């Protein structure tokens, strides 16, 4: 009578799998009923398995219970009529021996389909993100709120918008056509990128929580990269950049949880195996002549991963990638990053020259990053007065104590050379 | 000294409690797993959840209520231990007492 250990995140991932599979079968407009049925099946599993031990095939067991819950609910509500006859007729009566056999790849198909459903053009991007975190990662509203640094009410509202769109859909996720897949692919990339950066850049100080989001993004991006619908150079580049950043993640904090600059990071802590995986995806992404922003960003991350030391980084290559990035995806943050890289390559005065006369958009001007970089570059040029002015602004705008601590350390003392390289990615949907 | 058996009655407050999220369920399962491993020698019968039923008297049967209380008997199990203290120790660490508003009553089973 033992209760064997389950694989990590079994409940969350089963939740995602079941929601994806069942909503394909009955139609995504019933997603809320599906979610309730799955939630209650998991609860039944928890109660039953802890007492009676695990069944032979836990996923099949869960599927049957969730399926029965859902059918019961739909049957009850529609008086045995419409939906059953129209949509799920073929599944009634096949429960005993049917659905527990999953064909290889079927689960991935369903998850992938769900991902494309979440990326419906009619759903605003901030709602797409929340919907993906809820259905594909199995997070609850309060858990999403914690991870996005948003209020529960805000997350609830965003989710509501996505759901109301899905309710109106008469299109089943199973009926997505090749056209949908290709037209929504860029949005899928964007959402996966956001899930990743929400973890990577989060103001949430707890590493485990942030790591979890990065892992989820990598899990979904891997499914995408291994599926015919997602095998494009952009997908591979996106996955490469995730691995190349994740490989350095634990080295970004010291033992007390304080943030470390790229220059201060212990390179021996970087996950070499993951860097290799990232580089393999990057090599794959080089096919064809498409060069996306993900290629540029993965290229920058790869340069950092491959450099034996901060000083020996090929800054000219980094600058080149930032210049490409600026061209493909114009954003003031790329310019700022390029200035930082140029300062390493050719000196702080050259870095400052890039930003001379540049009027940052308000979201950047109001962020600590802008002030911090200007403070750093001015300080290194010897313009103490201007440097101190920007430093005070940067410290005032610092979003977390950890960032403030880092800024004070970096900008206060007269360290010679060095740079304020903060491992920046473009600000996500909750920033900027 | 032969081990004594104890009936453990799990109670929880009636009324709805917030549903656990999948991540929380994961945690609960892991805790339960660890607890069961630790006390496997003490657990005689994991018992189970109690469903609905009837109250039978010499005059007939009613639907209940079984006891007039805000608390609901949710489940039971049987553990063996050298003493009530040991049995309480087993139960104290069990997931059954973790949920807010839950409690477990431990009663020695006297057998002739």
pLDDT of residue A84: 55
pLDDT of residue A345: 93
Closest by CA to A282, choosing from A245, A314, A252, is A245
The reply to whether omega before B80 is within 30° of 0 (cis) is: no
Closest by CA to A94, choosing from A63, A54, A48, A73, is A63
pLDDT of residue A233: 95
Q: Do A5 and B30 touch (CB under 8 A)?
A: yes
pLDDT digits (tens, 9 = 90+) for B30-46: 888 888 888 988 888 88
- Its ipTM equals 0.78
Mean pLDDT of A393-415: 78
SS3 content of chain B, % helix, strand, coil (to 5): 25, 35, 40
Q: Do A11 and B25 touch (CB under 8 A)?
A: yes
A376's tokens? 């750093």
Say if residue A331's pLDDT is above 90: no
Do the Cβ atoms of B46 and B77 come closer than 8 Å?
yes
Q: Is residue A11 less than 8 Å (CB to CB) from chain B?
A: yes
Indicate the fold that domain B4-108 takes in CATH: Alpha-Beta Plaits (3.30.70)
pLDDT range class, residue B20, cuts 50, 70, 90: confident
pTM: 0.82
pLDDT digits (tens, 9 = 90+) for A93-122: 333 334 444 455 666 788 999 999 999 888
A2's tokens? 């033992």
pLDDT of residue B95: 74
pLDDT digits (tens, 9 = 90+) for A115-138: 999 998 889 999 999 999 999 999
pLDDT of residue B28: 86
pLDDT of residue A93: 36
Q: How far apart are CA A67 and CA A64, in angstroms?
A: 5
A7 → chain B, closest CA residue: B26
Long-range pairs, A224-227, Cβ under 8 A, ≥24:
A224/A112, A224/A115, A224/A188, A224/A192, A225/A281, A226/A108, A227/A108, A227/A109, A227/A112
Say if residue A277's pLDDT is above 80: yes
Mean pLDDT of A332-338: 90
Q: Where are the domains of chain B?
A: 4-108
Say if residue A319's pLDDT is above 90: yes
A43 → chain B, closest CA residue: B25
pLDDT of residue A92: 40
Mean pLDDT of B92-103: 75
pLDDT of residue A4: 66
Q: Is residue A32 less than 8 Å (CB to CB) from chain B?
A: no
Q: Do B25 and A5 touch (CB under 8 A)?
A: no
Higher pLDDT, A258 or A302: A302
pLDDT of residue B66: 61
Say if residue B99's pLDDT is above 80: no
Q: Quote the percentage of chain A above a pLDDT of 90.
A: 48
| Mean pLDDT taken over chain A | 84
Higher pLDDT, A152 or A429: A152
B50: left (phi over 0), alpha (psi -120 to 50) or beta: beta
B43 → chain A, closest CA residue: A1
pLDDT of residue A398: 83
Q: How far apart are CA A200 and CA A205, in angstroms?
A: 11
Q: Is residue A15 less than 8 Å (CB to CB) from chain B?
A: yes
Which one of B28, B36, B40 has the shortest CB-CB distance to A46?
A: B28
């Amino acid at each position: 009578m033992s209760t064997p250990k389950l694989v990590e995140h079994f409940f969350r991932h089963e939740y995602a799998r079941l929601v994806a599979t069942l909503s394909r079968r009955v139609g995504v407009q019933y997603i809320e009923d599906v979610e309730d049925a799955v939630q209650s099946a998991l609860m039944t599993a928890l109660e039953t398995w802890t007492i009676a031990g695990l069944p032979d095939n836990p996923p099949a067991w869960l599927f049957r219970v969730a399926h029965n819950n859902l059918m019961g609910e739909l049957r009850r509500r529609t008086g045995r009529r419409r939906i059953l006859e129209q949509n799920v007729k073929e599944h009634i009566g096949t429960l005993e021996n049917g659905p527990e056999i999953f064909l290889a790849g079927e689960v991935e198909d369903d998850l992938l389909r769900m991902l494309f459903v979440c990326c419906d053009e009619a759903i605003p991007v901030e709602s797409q993100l929340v919907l993906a975190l809820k259905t594909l990662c199995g997070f609850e509203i309060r858990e999403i709120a914690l991870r996005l640094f948003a209020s529960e009410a805000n997350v609830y509202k965003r989710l509501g918008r996505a759901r109301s769109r899905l309710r109106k859909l008469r299109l089943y996720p199973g009926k997505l056509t090749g056209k949908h897949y290709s037209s929504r692919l860029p949005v899928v990339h964007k959402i996966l990128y956001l899930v990743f950066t929400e973890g990577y850049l989060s103001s949430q100080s707890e590493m485990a929580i942030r790591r979890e989001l990065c892992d989820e993004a990598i899990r979904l991006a891997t499914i995408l990269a291994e599926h015919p619908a997602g095998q494009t150079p952009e997908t591979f580049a996106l996955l490469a950049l995730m691995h190349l950043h994740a490989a350095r993640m634990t080295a970004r904090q010291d033992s007390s949880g304080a943030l470390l600059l790229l220059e201060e990071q212990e390179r021996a802590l970087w996950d070499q195996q993951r860097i290799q995986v990232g580089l393999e995806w990057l090599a794959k992404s080089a096919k064809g002549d498409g060069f996306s922003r993900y290629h540029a960003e993965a290229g920058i991350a790869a340069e950092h991963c491959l450099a034996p030391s901060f000083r020996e980084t090929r800054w000219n290559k980094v600058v080149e990638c930032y210049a490409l990035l600026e061209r493909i995806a114009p954003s003031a943050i790329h310019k700022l990053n390029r200035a930082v890289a140029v300062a390493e390559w050719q000196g702080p005065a050259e870095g400052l020259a890039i930003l001379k006369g540049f009027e940052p958009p308000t979201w950047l001007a109001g962020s600590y990053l802008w002030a911090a970089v200007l403070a750093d570059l001015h300080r290194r040029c010897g313009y103490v007065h201007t440097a101190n002015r920007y430093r005070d602004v940067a410290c005032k705008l610092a979003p977390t104590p950890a960032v403030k601590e880092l800024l004070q350390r970096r900008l206060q003392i007269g360290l010679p050379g060095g740079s304020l390289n903060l491992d920046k990615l473009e600000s996500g949907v909750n920033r900027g | 000294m032969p081990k004594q058996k104890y009936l453990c009655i799990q109670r929880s407050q009636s009324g709805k409690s917030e549903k656990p999220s999948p991540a929380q369920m994961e945690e609960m399962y892991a805790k339960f797993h660890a607890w069961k491993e630790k006390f496997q020698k003490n657990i005689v019968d994991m018992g189970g959840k109690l469903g609905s039923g009837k109250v039978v008297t010499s005059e007939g049967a009613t639907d209940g209520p079984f006891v007039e209380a805000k608390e609901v008997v949710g489940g039971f199990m049987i553990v063996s231990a050298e003493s009530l203290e040991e049995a309480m120790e087993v139960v104290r660490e069990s997931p059954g007492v973790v949920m807010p508003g839950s409690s477990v009553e431990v009663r020695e089973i006297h057998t002739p």
